[in-house]
C-alpha cells in the first residue's frame, strides 16, 4: 500500500509480505536476498548478473563445471568459497546427518550435480548438497553457512554485484524496507494534498475496527465451534491447504478417540470435518524441526498433488503438538488385502498389477516431477493405501525430513531411521549417503510381495525350519527367471488366474530393484515405463494361464 508523504512523494506504508526474501525466486537463480536495511539482491561469489534490469533472471557462473569425471582429482581442480550466515532453501540432491564437515565437503566434490553444500555446525552435523542455487537468503539468524563449489583458479574474493530492489512511481523512489513498516505510518503528516491523508486514515480506521470486531466474534465462538469454522472446513473441500489449531483437531477426532493405525512416525486417528467429511489425523512424534522449518516443509507438502499420493489437507503446529490432516482412504492399507487369511478376499491379478503400476507412478512423481526432490524412505505395503476402487495411494511421503535421528559413530541409529526391517536398502546399514535408490529397493520388495502374496521376511527353506536370507531369495528368483517357470512363484490363491508375461516382467523388475549395488538399480520413472509397456488394459483380457 502506498501513500503520499509531506513532500508529495509516494511511500510504502503497508505490504502483504513483510519478509519479501521468503518469496520463491525473488532474486532469481544463484543470487541471495538480504536486508541492508532495505531489500537487496546480490550474486554469490563467482557469478554475475544476467540482466541488471530484472533480478528474477538471477546470475550466471563465470566458470563451467565438467559434466563427467567429477571425482577425478576433484580436490585439486575445485575449492569451496564460504558464504557465512547464508542458505538456499530446497533443491537438495541428498541429505545426511551426523557427518563431519570434511565428509560433507568430499561428498559434494564427488557429485557432478553438486553446486554447493550447506552444513550446520550446531552439533547435528546436517549436510545438504545443493543441485540448484535457488531461494537464497542471508540473515544473522541463518542456521549455517553455504559453501560454493568453484574452480581452484577462480578469483572469488571480489565483492559480488548487488542491487537494491526499489519501487519507483512517477519518478519518486519508494524503497521497500520491511523492518520499518510500522515506523512508516508515523511519517504521515500534513502535506500539499491533505485529502489523500484524510481518506487513507479513514479507510485504515475502518479496517482496524472491522478486524477487532471479527477477532472478538471469532474468540467468543470458540467453545461451540459454530459456522465460523465451517467456512475453513469448506476450504479443505476445495483442496486448499490450511492450518488447523490443536483445539480444532481435538474436537474433530473426538479427543483422539478412534485409532486407525500406529507407526514409527506417529499415531493416526479418525476425524470428521463438517459433520460429513472423514479425514485421517496423524500426530507426529520425534519431530526435529523448529516452528519456522516445520512451516516451510508444510508449504512443500501442500503443493504436492498426485492421484497416487495421499493428499495432505492441512497441518497443526502448536508447541510440542505437530499433526497432519490427510484425506481418508476407504479400503485401508495394502498389507491387509495382500496378507489376509481369507482366501475369498485375495486380490485378483488385475488389481495387483494396477496397484504395482500406480505405486510406481506415485514414487516416480516424488523422485522426478516434484518442485523439490522427495525421498519416501519407508515404502512398504502398510504405507500404500487403497481407495474404494482399489487404486493405490502412497502415504507418509516426506516425513523423513521431520524425523529425529541419532548419531552412532559415522552412521545413524537404526531405531530412529525412516525404514522398516525387510524393506530397508543396504545403504542404511552401511551408513552410506541416502538417495532415491533406497525407495527403489523397497519398491522391489513390495513388488515381489504383490506377486507372491506373502512377506519376503517370512520365506523359509523347504523343510520350513529356517528363514531364507536375502541372498538365498535372490538366487532362487534368478533360477525362476532362467527357467521361465513363474507359475510356482505366483500367489497360489489366484488358482492360475494371472498374466504370465506381466508376472515375469514384475519379477525381473524386482530383481533389478533389489541389487546390492545401488548404481545398478533402475530409476522409478524407468520402472513405471517398463510396467506400462506390458499393461494390456485396453484389451481387457481374461488373465488365464
**Residue 250 to residue 321: CA distance in whole angstroms:** 11
Whether a cis peptide bond, with omega within 30° of 0, leads into 444 is: no
Conformational region of residue 363, where left means phi above 0, alpha means psi within -120 to 50, and beta covers everything else: alpha
User: Which position among 5, 92, 177, 378 bears the catalytic label?
Assistant: 378
User: Could you give the C-alpha distances from 3 to 38, 195, 251, in angstroms and in order?
Assistant: 18, 11, 45
Q: Hey, what's the cell of 26? A: 525473488
Q: Hey, what's the cell of 245? A: 489449531
Q: Tell me the DSSP string of 14-72.
A: --S-S-GGGSTTTT-TTEEEEESSSEEEEEPTTEEES-TT-GGG-EEESS---SS-TTT
Helix, strand, or coil (residue 326): strand
Q: Tell me the DSSP string of 88-140.
A: E-S-BS-BB-S--HHHHHHHHHH-TT-SEEEEETTTT-EEEEESS--SEEE-T
Residue pair 119/179 in contact by the 8 Å Cβ criterion:
no
Q: Is 378 annotated in the active site?
A: yes
Q: Hey, what's the cell of 134? A: 535457488
Terminal alpha carbon distance of the chain: 71
**Which letter, b or e, does each residue of 330-346 get, where b requires 16 or more Cβ atoms within 10 Å of its Cβ?**
ebebbbebbeeeeeeeb
Q: Hey, what's the cell of 487? A: 507359475
Helix, strand, or coil (residue 224): coil
H or E element: which one contains 232? helix 227-237
Conformational region of residue 178, where left means phi above 0, alpha means psi within -120 to 50, and beta covers everything else: alpha
For 46-152, strand residue ranges (E) read 47-49, 59-61, 78-83, 86-88, 116-120, 126-130, 136-138, 145-151
The residue assigned the cell 491533505 is: 194
**Residue 44 to residue 32: CA distance in whole angstroms:** 7
H or E element: which one contains 218? helix 194-220
Number of C-beta neighbours around residue 374 at 10 A: 22
Number of helices and strands in the chain (H, E): 14, 25
Find out whether 282 is annotated in a ligand binding site.
Answer: yes
Residue pair 33/40 in contact by the 8 Å Cβ criterion:
yes
Angle at 430 between CA 424 and CA 436, to 5 degrees: 50
Residue pair 288/400 in contact by the 8 Å Cβ criterion:
no
HSE, CB side, 13 Å, CA atoms: give it for residue 11.
21
The residue assigned the cell 509531506 is: 6
Indicate the annotated binding residues. 282
Active site residues: 378
Indicate the annotated binding residues for ATP. 282
Amino acid at each position: 500500500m502506498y501513500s503520499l508523504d509531506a513532500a508529495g512523494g509516494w511511500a510504502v506504508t503497508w505490504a502483504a509480505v513483510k519478509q519479501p526474501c521468503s518469496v520463491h525466486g525473488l532474486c532469481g537463480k544463484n543470487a541471495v536476498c538480504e536486508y541492508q536495511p532495505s531489500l537487496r539482491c546480490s550474486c554469490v561469489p563467482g557469478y554475475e548478473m544476467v540482466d541488471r534490469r530484472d533480478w528474477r533472471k538471477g546470475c550466471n557462473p563465470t566458470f563451467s563445471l565438467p559434466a563427467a569425471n567429477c571425482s577425478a582429482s576433484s580436490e585439486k581442480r575445485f575449492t569451496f568459497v564460504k558464504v557465512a550466515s547464508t542458505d538456499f532453501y530446497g533443491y537438495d540432491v541428498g541429505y545426511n546427518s551426523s557427518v563431519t564437515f570434511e565428509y560433507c565437503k568430499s561428498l559434494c566434490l564427488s557429485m557432478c550435480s553438486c553446486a554447493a553444500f550447506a552444513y550446520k555446525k550446531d552439533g547435528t552435523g546436517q549436510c545438504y548438497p545443493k543441485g540448484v542455487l535457488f531461494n537464497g537468503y542471508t540473515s544473522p539468524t541463518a542456521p549455517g553457512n553455504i559453501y560454493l563449489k568453484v574452480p581452484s583458479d577462480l578469483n572469488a574474493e571480489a565483492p559480488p554485484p548487488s542491487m537494491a530492489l526499489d519501487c519507483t512511481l512517477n519518478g519518486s523512489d519508494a524503497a521497500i524496507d520491511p523492518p520499518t513498516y510500522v515506523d512508516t505510518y508515523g511519517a504521515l503528516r500534513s502535506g500539499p494534498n491533505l485529502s489523500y491523508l484524510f481518506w487513507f486514515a479513514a479507510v485504515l480506521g475502518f479496517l482496524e475496527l472491522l478486524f477487532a470486531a471479527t477477532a472478538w466474534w471469532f474468540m467468543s465462538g470458540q467453545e461451540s465451534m459454530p459456522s465460523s469454522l465451517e467456512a475453513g472446513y469448506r476450504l479443505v473441500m476445495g483442496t486448499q491447504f490450511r492450518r488447523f489449531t490443536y483445539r480444532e483437531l481435538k474436537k474433530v477426532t473426538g479427543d483422539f478417540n478412534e485409532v486407525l493405525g500406529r507407526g514409527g512416525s506417529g499415531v493416526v486417528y479418525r476425524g470428521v470435518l463438517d459433520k460429513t467429511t472423514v479425514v485421517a489425523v496423524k500426530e507426529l512424534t520425534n519431530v526435529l524441526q523448529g516452528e519456522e522449518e516445520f512451516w516451510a516443509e508444510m508449504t512443500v507438502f501442500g503443493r504436492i498433488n498426485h492421484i497416487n499420493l495421499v493428499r495432505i489437507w492441512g497441518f497443526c503446529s502448536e508447541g510440542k503438538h505437530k499433526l497432519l490432516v490427510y484425506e481418508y482412504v476407504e479400503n485401508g492399507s495394502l498389507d491387509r488385502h495382500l496378507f489376509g487369511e481369507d482366501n475369498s478376499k485375495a486380490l485378483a491379478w488385475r488389481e495387483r498389477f494396477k496397484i504395482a503400476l500406480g505405486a510406481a507412478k506415485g514414487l516416480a512423481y516424488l523422485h522426478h516431477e516434484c518442485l523439490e526432490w522427495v525421498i519416501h524412505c519407508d515404502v512398504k505395503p502398510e504405507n500404500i493405501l487403497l481407495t474404494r476402487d482399489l487404486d493405490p495411494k502412497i502415504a507418509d511421503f516426506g516425513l523423513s525430513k521431520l524425523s529425529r535421528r541419532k548419531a552412532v559413530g559415522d552412521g545413524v541409529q537404526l531405531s530412529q531411521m525412516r525404514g522398516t526391517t525387510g524393506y530397508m536398502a543396504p545403504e542404511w546399514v552401511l551408513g552410506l549417503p541416502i538417495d532415491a535408490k533406497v525407495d527403489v529397493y523397497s519398491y522391489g520388495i513390495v513388488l515381489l510381495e504383490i506377486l507372491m502374496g506373502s512377506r519376503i521376511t517370512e520365506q523359509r527353506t523347504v523343510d520350513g525350519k529356517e528363514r531364507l536370507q536375502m541372498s538365498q531369495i535372490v538366487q532362487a528368483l534368478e533360477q525362476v527367471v532362467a527357467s521361465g517357470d513363474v507359475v510356482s512363484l505366483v500367489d497360489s490363491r489366484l488358482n492360475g488366474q494371472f498374466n504370465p508375461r506381466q508376472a515375469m516382467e514384475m519379477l525381473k523388475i524386482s530383481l533389478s530393484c533389489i541389487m546390492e549395488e545401488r548404481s545398478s538399480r533402475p530409476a522409478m520413472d524407468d520402472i513405471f515405463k517398463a510396467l506400462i509397456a506390458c499393461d494390456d488394459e485396453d484389451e481387457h483380457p481374461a488373465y488365464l494361464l
